[in-house]
Structure 1
Amino acid sequence: MGLSQALSTAMSGLRANQAAMSLVSSNVANAETPGYVRKTTNQVQMSTGTGVQTIGVNRTLNEYIQAQLRTETSGAYYASTRASFLNNLQSIYGDPGSSSTLEGSFNALTSALQALSTSPDSQSTRIGVINAAQSMAQQLNATSQGIQGLRNSAELGLTNAVSVANNALTQIASINRQLQGNPGQDASTAAMLDQRDQYITQLSQLMDVRVVPGNGDQVSVYTMSGVQLVGGSDAAQLSFNAQGTVTPNTQWNADPAKSSLGSISISYANGGSIDLISSGSIRSGAIAAYLELRDKSLVQAQAQVDQLAAAMASALSDRTTSGTAYPPATPAPPPGTPAGFDLDLSGLQSGNVVNFTYTDTITNTQHSISIIRVDDPSVLPLKDNATIDPKDKVLGVDFSGGMASVLTQLNAAFGSAGVQFSNPSGSTLRVLDDGAGGMADINAASVTKTATSLSGGGPELPLFTDGGHVYSGTITATGSQQTGLAGRITVNSGLLADPSRLVVYGPGTPAGDTTRSDYILSQLKSGSFSYSASTGVGSNATPYKGTLLGFTQQFTSLQGNVAASAQLLSDGQDVVLNTLQKKMDSVSGVDIDEEMANLLALQNAYSANARVMSTINTMFQSLMQVI
C-alpha cells in the first residue's frame, strides 16, 4: 500500500469517526428527550477497497414494538380519561356514610317525617320536614349540576382534542412533503422522522391509529376502522360542531336534525366527509372516552338521579283508583251483556295513565294495556317502553281534541280485539268487552292521577314539584318531563308558605292527625316501585323493583363499582404501557454508559488514525530529504 493510499484511508477513518462522534454527542444530549431515537452512522467500505465511507444515519428502531406502543397508548388514554371522569362523578355522589349524599339527605327526610308523625301538631317538626325536603331537593339539584358539568367538560375535551388532532395531522403531512424533497438518510432526515413519530404518538393518545409505510420514508395514517387520516402529503381535517351548554335534554343523535350535541366529522380535499361518531370510526383514545362519557355513562348517571326524583315525587302525589264494575250486579243484567268498568277521568293530567287488562278468549292470552294521556300529538305513537312494565302494551292517546276524539282513537285501536269504549256522561270512560262468547273479557281497570292540590281531601300531595309545576310524567316534543327533573325539583311553594298542609289535607282535619304524615313516611320508606332499565339497575325484561332508599343504594353502589373498575383498568393499562415503553427504550433509547463506551472507542480509533497520518507525514518528510 502506497503512502498516498494509506493517508487517504486514515483520512476517511477520521471523517467517519467525526461523524460517529457527532451522533454520540447528539444521543447523549437527547437522552431525556421524549420520542428521541438513538442514531448510529451507516458505514461501508469505499469502492476503491480501502477506507470507510459514511453514507447515512440509522435509527435503532423496532417498528413492531413501536406499533404496539401506539395501540396501548390509545388504550391507556381512553382508560385514564374515563377513570378520571368516573372518579369525579363518585366525588359528586359523595362518600358512603356521609350526610352530604343522596342517601344521607333521604335518611334525614324520613327521620324528620318520623318526628312529625310523633308530634304532628308541632310547628317546629313541620318546619323540620320542610327543611329536610329542601335539603333533599337541593342535593338532587347539585348532583344533576355536577353530572352536567362533567358532560360539559367532555364536550370541551372533544373541542380541544379535535384541535390537537388537526395540528398533528397537518404536521405529519408536512413532514411527509419535506421527506419527499430530502430523500437522503442524513441526520436531518432522521430528526424529521423522530418528529413525525412524535406527532403520530400524539395522535394515538386521542384515537386508535394504524400507520402504513409507503415509498421511501412516506407513511399513511388510518384509524383502526380503516378511515384515512393522512395519505402521503395530504392530511384530512376533523371538525367538531360544539353546541354550547350541555343540559340533560341535550343528546347526541345520528340524525343531525335530532341531535343537540356536537358531532365529529372528517373532510378531505376532494370534498368527501364522514361522520366519525355515527360510523363508529373512533374506538379508543381520549376522544372515544369523551364520547362514551358524554353520550352514555354520564347520561345513565343523569337517568339515575332523574328516576329517583320522579319516583319520589310520584310516590307522594299519584293516586290509583280501581274502576267501578259495569253493569251493576243488581239488578242482574241480561245474559250476554257486555261487561267492564267505568273510570273517572276528571283531573287526569298529561302523562297520567289508564290501565286495563283483558283476556283474548280465542287464544286465552291476557293483555295489559297502558293508555297514556298525551296533549302533544307530535309525539305519537309512543313506544312500548314508555312505561317500565315490559308486559305493557302502551298506547298514547291525544286528549287535546276532547272526549269524542279520545273514544275514536281507543275504539280504532282495540275495536278489532273486541274491546269497546264509550262516554256515558261527563268525564267517565267506560271500557267493555263484547259480551259472553265474544273475543275478549275485561279483567280489571284503573286510573292513576296526579294530585295537584295540597288540600284535595286525601293524603296524596305534590310535596315535590318540577320547578313549581306539578310532576305528572308528561311527554312532549322536547322529551319526557322526567329528563332533567333532578336538576329542577323543588319543594312545593304552598308548603313553604303553609307547613300545616303536611298534616291538614282537607276541611276539618284535626291538627294532630297523622294520616298524611304517616302516608308520606310509608311511601318514602316502605313503598315499592319499579325503575327504568335506562338507569343501569335491572333490565328491560326484569326491571328493578324496591324502595326509594334501596334504589338509591343500588345505583350509588353501581357507580362506585364502575369507578373502581375503571381505575383498575387504567392502572393495568399503565402497567402494559410502561412495560412496552421500557422495551422500546431498551432498543431505541439512549444508554449513557453505552454511549460513553462508544465515545471512548471512537476516541481511540480517532487517535489511531491521527497517529497513522502523523507517521505518514514523517515518512513523507524523510523521503523529501532523501530526494
Structure 2
Amino acid sequence: MGLSQALTTAMSGLRATQASLSLVSSNVANAETPGYVRKTVNQVAGTTGDYGSSVLLNGVNRQLDQYLQSQLRTETSGASYADVRSTYLANLQSVYGNPDSTGTIEDAYNKLLTAIQGLSTSPDSQSARIGVVNAAQSMAQQLNATSQGIQSLRANAEAGISDSVNTANNALTQIATINKQLQSGGQTDASTAALLDQRDQYITQLSQLMDIRTVTNDQNQVTVFTNSGVQLVGTEAAQLSFNAQGTMTPNTLYNSDPTKSNVGTITVTFPHGGSYDLVSTNSIRSGKIAAYLELRDNTLVKAQTQIDQFAASMSSALSDKTTAGTAAPASLAPQSGFDLDLSGLQSGNVVHVSYKDNTTGVTHNLSLVRVDDPSVLPLSNSATTDPNDEVVGIDFSGGMSSVLTQLNGALGSAAGLQFSNPSGSTLRVLDDGTGRSSVTSGSVTSTVSSLTSGDPQLPLFTDNGGLYTGAITANGSQMTGLAARISVNTALVGDPSRTVVFSTNPLTAAGDTTRANMMLSQLSAGSYSYSPQTGLGTTSAPFTGTLLNFARQFISQQGEAATAAKQLSDGQDVVLNTLQSKMSATSGVNIDDEMAHLLQLQNAYSANARVMSSIKQMYDTLMQVM
C-alpha cells in the first residue's frame, strides 16, 4: 500500500468517526425528546487503489422496530379510547351520586315515599300535605339536575369530537408536508431521519384520536388509512369536518339519516373531490373520537333514557287509570265482546283488547295506541314494554268514523273482529259470531287530567306544566327528555289539600286516606315493565319491578360499568406502558451506551489521526531526501 492510499484510508476513517461523533452528540442531546429515535451511521467497506481499504458512509440508520411501532400505535388508540370512557363514566357516576348519600335519585324517592306515608297516617295534617308537595318537587328537581348533568357530559363529548377533528387535521397536514419533503434514493441522511421522527410523532398523535394503519413506499413516504380502509393522507391530506350542533338536549340525537339527525357528524373530504361520512359508516372504531361518539350517541343517551323511563313510569303510576270494558248487550248474540269508554283517552293512551283465535288456540293481546299525528304510523311493537303485545297505532285526528275504518281494516278480516260506535265515545269490539275468534277482555288505560276527577289517580307530575300521556309524535316519544322537563303540578303546589281531596261533589273528607294510600301503593309496591332501551332486560324479557328496584338497578349498573371501564383503562395503560418501555429500549437513547460508544469513537479518531501524522512525517522525510 502506498502512502497516498494509506492517507486516503485514514481520512475516510476520520470522516466516518466525525459523522458518528455528530450522531452521538445528537443522540445525547435528544435523549429526553419525545419521539426521538436513536441514530447510527451506516458504514460499508470500500477499496482504495489496488490493495487499500476504506470506510464509506451509506446514510443514517434509525434504530426502529417497525412491528413494535405498529403495535404501539394500535395500543395507543385502545388506551385513549379506554381512558376517555373511564373518565366520562366516572363523571356520570358522580352525576348519579353514591346510592348511600343524599342528593341522589334514590334518596329523593325514599323521601317522597316517607312523605306520602306520613300523609297516609295523617291525611288531615296540613304539614303532611305540604310535605308531600315539597318532597315531590325535590324529586322532580333531582331528575332535572341529573338530566342536566348527563347532557353536560354529552356536550363535553361533542366538544371533544370538535377539538379532536381540529387536531387530526393538523396532524394530517403535517404528515402530507413531510411526505413531500422526503426524497427518493434509498438513502437516509441525518435531515431525512429527523423528518421521519417528526412524521412518526404526528402519526402517533393521530393514533390517539382514531385507529389507523400505515403503508410506507420505497420513497420513504407513508400513506395513512383508517382500519376500515379510508385513506386519510399520502402526499396530500384529506380534510375532516365536524358540524357541531351547539346546545345538547335529550332530544338532540344521532341518526344515520342526516335529515333526522340533530347532532354533529364527521365527514372526510378527499383532496381530489368526494366525501365520506365516517360516523354512519362506523369508520372510526377506536381512539378518542370513537370514545366520544360512543358516549354521546349511546352510553349517555342510554343513561338519559333510564331517568326518562323512571320519570315516565313514576308519572303514569299516579295518573293512569285502567277501566275495564262492560260486556256488550246480550241481544247481539251470537256475537259477544265489550263496550269501551274512550272519553278520557289522550294521545299515547292505550285500549287493550284480548281475543282468542279458536282455530289455533292462541290468545292475542292487542294494544291500540292513540296517536294524533299520522306521520308516525305504523307503530312498532316496541311502543309498549309488554313483549306479548301486538301494537296497532290508530290515528284519532280524523274522528271516530276514521278510527273505526282503521280498526276494521286492520283487524276485521285478519282477526275476525268487528268495531263499531254505538253512541258517544263508546267503542264496541265484537267477534264476528262465527266462532272463529272470541273476545276475552277489553279495557282502557287513560290519563287522569284533573286533581278532583272523583278518582284517586292524579297528575302529581307534569311535563313542563302539561299532561304526561306517553304521546308519540313526529318529534319522537314524549318520554324522551321527560326527566329534564318534569315538574310538580302547579295546581297542587297552589292547593296542597288536593293530595287528599279527589272529589268536590261530594267533598272528600279531610281524613280520607284513599288518595294517599293509592300513591303509596303505586310508588312503593307497584310493579312495572321498563323499555329495553334503558339497557336493562330485553325485548322478549323486559326488566320488571318496582320503581325503586328499577332506580337501584340502573344506578348499580352504572357503578359496575364505571368500575369495569376503570379496570379496562388501567389494563390498557399497563399494556401501553410496557410497549413504550420496549420501544424505548430498542429505539430510545441510553446515555451509558452512548458514552461507551463515544470512547470507542475517540480512540478510533486518535488512531486515524496518528496514522495521518505518521504519513506526514514520512512525506516530510521523503521531501528532505529528494
Q: Tell me if both proteins adopt one fold, taking TM over 0.5 as the criterion.
A: yes
C-alpha distance in 2 between matches for 1:221 and 1:447: 61
Q: CA deviation at 1:368?
A: 0.6
1:356 matched to 2:353? The reply is yes
Q: String of CA shifts for 1:528-576, please: whole Å, max 9, x gaps.
A: 1110000011110001110000000000011111111111111111111
8 Å CA contact retained: 1:348, 1:449 = yes
Q: CA deviation at 1:379?
A: 1.1
Q: What number of residue pairs does the alignment pair up?
A: 620
Query: Match of 2:325?
Result: 323
Q: CA deviation at 1:171?
A: 1.1
Alignment of 1:239-388 (within 5 A): 239-328=241-330, 333=331, 336-388=333-385
C-alpha distance in 2 between matches for 1:514 and 1:391: 36
C-alpha distance in 2 between matches for 1:224 and 1:506: 67
Query: Match of 2:608?
Result: 609
Q: CA deviation at 1:180?
A: 3.2
Gaps of 5+ in 2: none
8 Å CA contact retained: 1:56, 1:186 = yes
Q: CA deviation at 1:580?
A: 0.9
Residue 50 of structure 1 aligns with an amino acid whose one-letter code is S
C-alpha distance in 2 between matches for 1:548 and 1:487: 18
Pick from 115, 121, 127 the counterpart of residue 118 of structure 1: 121
Alignment of 1:89-108 (within 5 A): 89-108=92-111
Query: Match of 1:559?
Result: 558
152-161 or 44-53: bigger deviation: 44-53
C-alpha distance in 2 between matches for 1:2 and 1:564: 77
Q: CA deviation at 1:250?
A: 1.1
Query: Match of 1:82?
Result: 85
Query: Match of 2:192?
Result: 189
Q: CA deviation at 1:284?
A: 0.8
Secondary structure of the corresponding residue to residue 54 of structure 1: strand
Q: String of CA shifts for 1:148-187, please: whole Å, max 9, x gaps.
A: 1111111111111111111111111111110037864110
Residue 454 of structure 2 aligns with an amino acid whose one-letter code is G
C-alpha distance in 1 between matches for 2:545 and 2:344: 28
Query: Match of 2:594?
Result: 595
C-alpha distance in 2 between matches for 1:111 and 1:431: 43
8 Å CA contact retained: 2:184, 2:218 = no
Q: String of CA shifts for 1:486-536, please: whole Å, max 9, x gaps.
A: 000001101110111101111221111111111111111111111000001
8 Å CA contact retained: 1:182, 1:189 = no
C-alpha distance in 1 between matches for 2:137 and 2:611: 94
C-alpha distance in 2 between matches for 1:45 and 1:31: 30
C-alpha distance in 1 between matches for 2:183 and 2:260: 46
Residue 148 of structure 2 aligns with an amino acid whose one-letter code is Q
Query: Match of 2:172?
Result: 169
Moved over 6 A (4+): none
Q: CA deviation at 1:423?
A: 0.8
Pick from 403, 408, 425 the counterpart of residue 423 of structure 2: 425
C-alpha distance in 2 between matches for 1:518 and 1:29: 79
C-alpha distance in 2 between matches for 1:430 and 1:96: 49
Percent identity, please.
66
1:514 matched to 2:513? The reply is yes
Residue 408 of structure 1 aligns with an amino acid whose one-letter code is T
Residue 429 of structure 1 aligns with an amino acid whose one-letter code is L
8 Å CA contact retained: 1:418, 1:438 = no
Secondary structure of the corresponding residue to residue 359 of structure 1: strand
Residue 441 of structure 2 aligns with an amino acid whose one-letter code is A
Question: So what's the TM-score if we normalise by structure 1?
Answer: 0.97
Q: CA deviation at 1:283?
A: 1.1
Alignment of 1:200-239 (within 5 A): 200-231=203-234, 233-239=235-241
Pick from 395, 398, 408 the counterpart of residue 398 of structure 1: 395
Q: CA deviation at 1:11?
A: 1.8
Q: String of CA shifts for 1:313-356, please: whole Å, max 9, x gaps.
A: 0000000010001125xxxx47x521000111112111110000
Secondary structure of the corresponding residue to residue 224 of structure 2: strand
Q: CA deviation at 1:8?
A: 2.1
8 Å CA contact retained: 1:421, 1:429 = yes
304-313 or 148-157: bigger deviation: 148-157
Query: Match of 2:55?
Result: 52
Query: Match of 1:408?
Result: 405
8 Å CA contact retained: 1:210, 1:222 = yes
8 Å CA contact retained: 2:212, 2:226 = yes
8 Å CA contact retained: 2:184, 2:220 = no
Residue 142 of structure 1 aligns with an amino acid whose one-letter code is A
8 Å CA contact retained: 1:303, 1:483 = yes
605-614 or 465-474: bigger deviation: 605-614
Query: Match of 1:460?
Result: 457
Alignment of 1:516-555 (within 5 A): 516-555=515-554
What do you get for the CA RMSD once the two structures are aligned? 1.3
Q: CA deviation at 1:618?
A: 2.7
Residue 336 of structure 2 aligns with an amino acid whose one-letter code is A
Gaps of 5+ in 1: none
8 Å CA contact retained: 1:207, 1:284 = yes
